[in-house]
Amino acid sequence: MDITLEKKLQGFQLVAQEKLQAILCSIPGKKELILEPALIKPLEHVCTASWLKLKGIQRIYKHDAAQSMPRAADQVHIYMIRSFLATFTTLLQQLQPLALAEMPDISMKMYHIVCVPSCYSYFQTLLEQMGLWGLVQLHHYNWDFIYFDQGVLSLELPNLYESVYLQGNTSPLPPVAQSLRLLQMVCGHPSVVLSYGHHSAQLVEMIQALGKLPDPTNSAEYGAWLIIDRDKDYPASLLTPAIYAGLLLEVFQQRSGEILVDNSKNKISTQRVELLQGRSQMKGSAQSPKPCSIRLNSTADEIYGDNRYKHFAQVSSLIRAQVKALGLELQKLNDMQLEEMHDYVARKLPKLTELKSKVLRHLNASEIVIKMMGNFRKLQTLEEDILNNVSRKKLLGEIDELLTTDGQRFNTLRLLCLLHHCVGVAPEELQMFARNYCNLVGHQELSVFQRLGQAGLLPPLLPEKKAPTKLLSNLPLPKFQQTEFQANANRLRLLTSFGDGQDGGGSSKNQASNTQSCPSFVFNGTYIPLAAQLCSILLKSSNADEVSSKLTMIEGLTVHLDSGKTSPKAYATQLKTTNCTHQDVFPLKLRNLFIFIVGGASYAEIAACDFVAKLTGAQITVASDSLMAGSDFIAAAFNN
Partner 1 sequence: MDYQLDTESYWNRSSRAAFSFDDEDEVDLSPELVSNGILADDTISEASFDNSATLNLSIKSLLSEEALKLVLQEQALDDRVLPKGVSPEEELKMLRRQLQSTLYSPNLEATAQKLMQGKPAPLEMFKSLHEKQQLLDTVLAQGGHAVIAVLLFLKRTLHTQQFHGILRERPKALEQYLSYLRESGDLSSHIDLLQRFGRHQEAALKQFEAALSCKDANTKKNQLQRLVEAYATAGVGIIPLYEQIFHSALNMEKLLEKENGLRKTLGERPTPIEVLYACCQANNNWKEQDMSKPLSPQRFAADQQISPAQYEWTALNERAQAQAYADLECIFERVPSWHPLKSKQFHISFDLALAVIRLYELQAPSTVLQLFLSKMGNSVEKLALAQRVKCIKAVIDAMAGLKQQQELQQLKDTLPDRSEEQFYCENALKSLQSKRWTTDNIKLKL
Residues 425-484, interacting with partner 1 (CB under 8 A): 430-431, 434-436, 438-444, 446-447, 449-450, 461-465
* Best CA proximity match to 242, nearest among 510, 608, 603, 524: 524
CB of 336 to partner 1, least distance (A): 32
Report the alpha-carbon distance of residue 514 to residue 101 in Å, rounded. 70
Report the alpha-carbon distance of residue 516 to residue 416 in Å, rounded. 30
Choose, by CB under 8 A, the member of 85, 100, 345, 512 that binds partner 1. 85
* Best CA proximity match to 493, nearest among 522, 524, 457, 529: 529
Site for partner 1 in 583-622 (CB under 8 A): none
How many residues does the structure list for the chain? 640
Q: What are phi and psi of 468, to 5 degrees?
A: -55, -45
**For partner 1, the closer CB: 203 or 606:** 203
Cβ(92)–Cβ(46) under 8 Å?
Answer: no
Report the alpha-carbon distance of residue 634 to residue 114 in Å, rounded. 30
**107 forms part of the interface with partner 1 (CB under 8 A):** no
In this chain, which stretch among 91-99, 319-327, 399-407, 549-557 interacts with partner 1, using CB under 8 A?
399-407
Quote the strand ranges of 13-135, DSSP E: 30-35, 57-62, 75-82, 111-116
Q: Number of residues in contact with partner 1, rule: CB under 8 A?
A: 116
Choose, by CB under 8 A, the member of 7, 377, 491, 493 that binds partner 1. 7
Beta strand pairing call for 146-149 and 592-598: unpaired
Report the alpha-carbon distance of residue 44 to residue 55 in Å, rounded. 15
**367 forms part of the interface with partner 1 (CB under 8 A):** no
> Interhelix angle for 409-423 vs 447-454, to 10°?
40
Helix (H, G, I), strand (E, B) or coil at 543: coil
**171 forms part of the interface with partner 1 (CB under 8 A):** yes
CB of 198 to partner 1, least distance (A): 9
Report the alpha-carbon distance of residue 230 to residue 626 in Å, rounded. 12
Choose, by CB under 8 A, the member of 186, 458, 585, 595 that binds partner 1. 186
In this chain, which stretch among 114-122, 228-236, 336-344, 548-556 interacts with partner 1, using CB under 8 A?
114-122
In this chain, which stretch among 21-29, 418-426, 526-534, 562-570 interacts with partner 1, using CB under 8 A?
21-29
Q: What is the 3-state secondary structure (H, E, C) of 187-204?
A: HCCCCEEEEECHHHHHHH
**513 forms part of the interface with partner 1 (CB under 8 A):** no
Site for partner 1 in 212-251 (CB under 8 A): 213-218
In the shown chain, the binding pattern of residues 120 to 139 toward partner 1, with x for contact by CB under 8 A and - for none, equals xxx-xx------------xx
Report the alpha-carbon distance of residue 631 to residue 37 in Å, rounded. 23
Site for partner 1 in 405-424 (CB under 8 A): 405
CB of 333 to partner 1, least distance (A): 28
In this chain, which stretch among 273-281, 348-356, 483-491, 616-624 interacts with partner 1, using CB under 8 A?
273-281
**86 forms part of the interface with partner 1 (CB under 8 A):** yes
Cβ(595)–Cβ(620) under 8 Å?
Answer: yes
CB of 158 to partner 1, least distance (A): 15
Strand partners, 598: 229
Site for partner 1 in 550-569 (CB under 8 A): none
Cβ(13)–Cβ(48) under 8 Å?
Answer: no
Q: What are phi and psi of 195, to 5 degrees?
A: -115, 145
Site for partner 1 in 25-64 (CB under 8 A): 26, 35, 40, 44-45, 48-51, 53-54, 58-62, 64
> Interhelix angle for 376-388 vs 338-373, to 10°?
50
**335 forms part of the interface with partner 1 (CB under 8 A):** no
**For partner 1, the closer CB: 216 or 556:** 216
In the shown chain, the binding pattern of residues 291 to 330 toward partner 1, with x for contact by CB under 8 A and - for none, equals -xx-x----x------------------------------
Cβ(318)–Cβ(617) under 8 Å?
Answer: no
**For partner 1, the closer CB: 25 or 325:** 25
* Best CA proximity match to 146, nearest among 5, 257, 51, 58: 257
* Best CA proximity match to 628, nearest among 161, 143, 116: 161
Cβ(543)–Cβ(581) under 8 Å?
Answer: yes
Choose, by CB under 8 A, the member of 75, 189, 205, 389 that binds partner 1. 205
Choose, by CB under 8 A, the member of 10, 96, 150, 483 that binds partner 1. 10
Helix (H, G, I), strand (E, B) or coil at 553: coil
- Give just the sign of the alpha carbon dihedral 402, 404, 407, 413: positive
Report the alpha-carbon distance of residue 142 to residue 413 in Å, rounded. 34
Range 273-280, long-range pairs (CB < 8 A, 24+ positions): 273/407, 273/440, 273/441, 276/407
CB of 639 to partner 1, least distance (A): 10
**For partner 1, the closer CB: 152 or 177:** 177
CB of 372 to partner 1, least distance (A): 14
- CB-side exposure of 335: number of CA atoms within 13 Å? 5
- CB-side exposure of 64: number of CA atoms within 13 Å? 6
CB of 283 to partner 1, least distance (A): 11
Report the alpha-carbon distance of residue 564 to residue 571 in Å, rounded. 10
**180 forms part of the interface with partner 1 (CB under 8 A):** no
CB of 79 to partner 1, least distance (A): 13
CB of 228 to partner 1, least distance (A): 17
**364 forms part of the interface with partner 1 (CB under 8 A):** no
Rounded alpha-carbon distances, angstroms, from residue 198 to 24, 164, 182, 315: 37, 11, 22, 38
CB of 118 to partner 1, least distance (A): 5
In this chain, which stretch among 174-182, 236-244, 337-345, 540-548 interacts with partner 1, using CB under 8 A?
174-182
In this chain, which stretch among 79-87, 351-359, 525-533, 609-617 interacts with partner 1, using CB under 8 A?
79-87
CB of 320 to partner 1, least distance (A): 22
Choose, by CB under 8 A, the member of 79, 111, 141, 410 that binds partner 1. 141
Choose, by CB under 8 A, the member of 354, 401, 484, 503 that binds partner 1. 401
**For partner 1, the closer CB: 121 or 577:** 121
Q: What angle do CA 474, 477, 478 make, to 5 degrees?
A: 135
**For partner 1, the closer CB: 395 or 537:** 395
CB of 152 to partner 1, least distance (A): 14
Choose, by CB under 8 A, the member of 11, 56, 305, 456 that binds partner 1. 11
CB of 640 to partner 1, least distance (A): 8
